[in-house]
Structure 1
Amino acid sequence: MRISYETVAAPGRPHNEDHVIAGPTWVAVLDGATAPAGVDSGCEHDVPWLVAQLGSALTHRLATRPGESLPDLVAAAIRATMAAHADTCDLTDPDSPSSTMAVLRRRDDLVDYLVLCDSPIALRRTDGTLTVVDDDRTGHLPGGRPYSLDLVRRSRNRPGGFWVASTEPEAAYEALSGSVEASTVSGALLLTDGVTRLMEWYGHPWEQLVDTAATDGPGELIRWVRREEQGRGAPSFAKRHDDATAAWISW
């Protein structure tokens, strides 16, 4: 596997709440959820701490448990992260820090994938088509955007709402996961939603995003999204800039 990635904080923000991990046969991107202003999360740690803890726990398990399923590994990483701050933080708080996860692993003749919340994976197939694994449940909450804080609280890690890595290990089993024959895949693109706005807001097709990553590298996607943000702005419900991460894998 050949893995390249780039992750960049939003302009004007001091910390990047995205995170990337990679190894010889796997890669994952995480996107921490920024708490609304004035919200007490019940946690003494910030979002970069959470994504670093989740990433570290997942790295260890991907490296040492190659035969376990991705949902099992993600659930174990969530449990380990919970244990790291259970004595100092209120893990029952509905506003506890959280993160998306997108994981891709080559395992013998298979490619395993897992998508938890809105960090999708696009698989480029050898026949030229794309298979996009996109957990878009955050885009279908009732009432339309902007969502109220109360609605997000009531919907997070609940049936009929959306699932995310936070304080519920069972969320891993609600992720979109599966396997495909490695011989049918020539590459894969993992993105956080700071980059998928190229498609969702600005109308660029997935094929163009994948072609750009394959030809010019994942960093070009981030430069592209910054140009679009500057020139075309953002919807009224969204922040103009977000942390942005892209990872491109080929073999």
Structure 2
Amino acid sequence: MHITYSTEPAPIPGRRNEDYVIAGPDWIAVLDGATAPAGVDSGCIHDVPWLVAQLGGALGHGLATRPGAALVGILADGIRAVMAAHEDTCDLTNVDSPSSTVAAVRRRGELVDYLVLCDSPIALVGANGALTMIDDDRTDHLPGGRPYSLELVQSLRNQPGGFWVASTKPEAAYALRGSVSAETLSGILMVTDGVTRLIEWYGHTWEQLMETVAKAGPGQLIAQVRSAELDHGPMNGGRRHDDATAACPGSP
């Protein structure tokens, strides 16, 4: 599997990238750590870059050493490993404990397995050009509509009827997942929400994103994001800049 990717922190002085990418010969995982709101006590002495590095490393170990294991099991074990790494120093019962999205793709023989947890979607392009989105959009459908209050998010994070992220509950690993025949695919695109703002804010389509990647590679998507952010600014009350990652497993 040929894999290309690009990841950049938000262009803010001193900013560390809270996205994380880890890849092997036939797999890749993309993570997007959740930035805690200002003034919120996470109960954790670690920051979000620590979390995504720990979880990414655990996922990489599982994907590399257990090639036949279900992605759900690898992710659940990865969450357990991260919990064990800081259960003696941090309050893992805190609902604001650091968290992350997860998207993973693995080639397994004639199949391509995928998993999506929270809002880091995967686009699958069929050999016939048809686009299939694997998008865990539960954060878009919480009660009351946006903007969501901090209290609402806290009450629904990793709860039935709410939304799930990788943090302190291994059962969150039961995300959107499945397998497709590798022969039926012509392309795959994995992105964090720092890139999907091209669609959600700036009028691009998934087809345009795939065309850009095919012609210029994933780094060009991030360049387009930065240009649009400077030209048009944030929308819907969002942050002006965000970390941004785009990955293309199986790209030519």
Cα deviation for residue 236 of structure 1 reads: 4.1
1:214/1:248 contact within 8 Å kept: no
Q: Which residue of 2 aligns with 1:193?
A: 193
CA distance in 1, matches of 2:55, 2:203: 32
- Answer yes or no: is 1:244 the counterpart of 2:244: yes
1:98/1:166 contact within 8 Å kept: yes
SS at match of 1:68: coil
Q: Which residue of 1 aligns with 2:228?
A: 228
1:10/1:16 contact within 8 Å kept: yes
Cα deviation for residue 187 of structure 1 reads: 1.6
Q: Which residue of 2 aligns with 1:176?
A: 176
Unpaired segments ≥5 residues, structure 2: none
CA distance in 2, matches of 1:88, 1:213: 42
**Deviations 1:60-99, CA, capped at 9 Å, x for gaps:** 0000001111011100000000000000000000110000
**What amino acid sits opposite 1:23 in the alignment?**
G
CA distance in 1, matches of 2:6, 2:129: 25
- Answer yes or no: is 1:58 the counterpart of 2:53: no
**Deviations 1:150-172, CA, capped at 9 Å, x for gaps:** 10111101111111000000000
CA RMSD of aligned residues (A): 0.9
Q: Which moved more, 1:12-21 or 1:95-104?
A: 12-21
**Deviations 1:224-248, CA, capped at 9 Å, x for gaps:** 0111111111124210110000001
SS at match of 2:225: helix
CA distance in 2, matches of 1:150, 1:139: 16
Q: Which residue of 2 aligns with 1:121?
A: 122
Q: Which residue of 2 aligns with 1:138?
A: 139
CA distance in 1, matches of 2:64, 2:250: 20
Q: Which residue of 1 aligns with 2:32?
A: 31
What TM-score does the superposition give when structure 1 sets the normalisation length? 0.98
2:105/2:249 contact within 8 Å kept: no
**Deviations 1:31-70, CA, capped at 9 Å, x for gaps:** 0000001111000000000000000000000000011110
Q: Which moved more, 1:114-123 or 1:235-244?
A: 235-244
**What amino acid sits opposite 1:115 in the alignment?**
V
2:99/2:166 contact within 8 Å kept: yes
Q: Which residue of 1 aligns with 2:103?
A: 102
Q: Which residue of 2 aligns with 1:45?
A: 46
Q: Which residue of 2 aligns with 1:76?
A: 77
Unpaired segments ≥5 residues, structure 1: none
CA distance in 2, matches of 1:239, 1:172: 28
1:145/1:237 contact within 8 Å kept: no
CA distance in 2, matches of 1:232, 1:12: 17
**What amino acid sits opposite 1:167 in the alignment?**
T
CA distance in 2, matches of 1:65, 1:203: 41
CA distance in 2, matches of 1:240, 1:165: 25
**What amino acid sits opposite 2:152 in the alignment?**
L
CA distance in 2, matches of 1:150, 1:127: 45
What TM-score does the superposition give when structure 2 sets the normalisation length? 0.97
**What amino acid sits opposite 1:228 in the alignment?**
A
Give identity over the alignment, percent: 68
Q: Which residue of 2 aligns with 1:11?
A: 11
